[in-house]
Amino acid sequence: MMLTRAYLESGLLQKAIAEAGLGMHLLSEAELQSSIQQTLARQKPNSDIWLFAYGSLIWNPIFHFAEYRTGTIYGLHRRFCLWTPLGRGTPENPGLVLGLDRGGSCRGVAYRIAAANVMTELTIVWRREMIVGSYVPTWVKFYHDRQVVEAIAFVVNRHRSGYAGNISFDATVDTLATAKGQLGSSADYLFQTVDGLISVGIKDKPLLRLRDRVLTKQKLLLKKSDVRSQKSE
């Protein structure tokens, strides 16, 4: 299933998480709106907002924006550091999705949301990214050519149980190669992110290496499955 704007507007995502019985605390609509207002408090009223994307918001943004730019933020890097027991995995085999974690730098896309649409569009984004408080909305400096703009970025919340910590490269490969959930597989999330980054001129070498290893792992698992099937016949 593809995550769509209509799906978020309908509240079906919240319903799906609640019905899964995973014990996650879902932020209410009032809590989401409060979080948005707190994040925007440092900005001038009725001003455009920039939003930094580093993962699925690049290849499936859903929200409406006026323009986008590619550039870099510093002090944070893109990493598979967030467990997902529903969207891209199951409670028995949780998947992994991206977050911004401490250190390094990250090339990505900054979207400008027009002032008149800020609350409507950020509400869509918050229902998608903040529904269980997995991220901390953080203002970052986004460098594009010789220009610098302030943008909102979703940094992984290290204090939530979903934070994967210092998960090893091999464990990340194993998870991405096998986990599947209601929104698809963790592998597809990785592949779509790599393709989305390439489409805007960004080649993330760690993600490219990870993609190659996941593809190799999937081929190996498929070969083993075929051998078992042949032996059982």
| Amino acid letter, 213 | R
Cβ within 8 Å of residue 131, ≥6 positions away: 13, 14, 17, 26, 27, 32
Element (H, E) at 118: helix 118-129
Cα–Cα distance for residue pair 8/107, rounded to 1 Å: 27
Cα–Cα distance for residue pair 86/89, rounded to 1 Å: 5
Cβ within 8 Å of residue 107, ≥6 positions away: 70, 71, 72, 197, 202, 204
Q: Check if 150 is active-site.
A: no
Choice among 31, 129, 150, 233 that is catalytic? 129
Query: Which residues are catalytic, by number?
Result: 129
